Amino acid sequence: MEEFVYAGDATLSRPGSNAELSAWVDYVYFRDNPAGPHSELWYHAAACRQFLKVERDTRTHVISSAELA
């Protein structure tokens, strides 16, 4: 088990309960795959269990910021 676990794209927002099916399909299945800055969630699994919002460059893996999500 790793201390931090990747938990997906941080920019998604869950559709409202009356949203179209297409909005749900987007939310659940479709992801951007940017070469460059990416906002993502990380879960501090082996410690405080907080989700963190991390700005990471997918080309260099450089993390420019991390804050409580």
Residue ranges that bind other proteins, judged by CB under 8 A = 1, 5, 7, 14-15, 17, 19, 21, 24-25, 27-29, 41, 43, 45, 49-51, 59-62, 69
What, of Zn ion, other proteins, none, does residue 61 touch, CB below 5 to 8 Å by kind? Answer: other proteins
Element (H, E) at 38: strand 37-44
Rounded Cα gap, residues 8 and 22, in angstroms: 20
- 68 binds Zn ion, rule: CB under 5 A: no
Task: Single out the residue of 53, 17, 9 nearest to residue 34, CA to CA.
Answer: 9
Which CB atom, from 1 or from 36, has the smaller least distance to other proteins? 1
* Structure token pair of residue 44: 């501090």
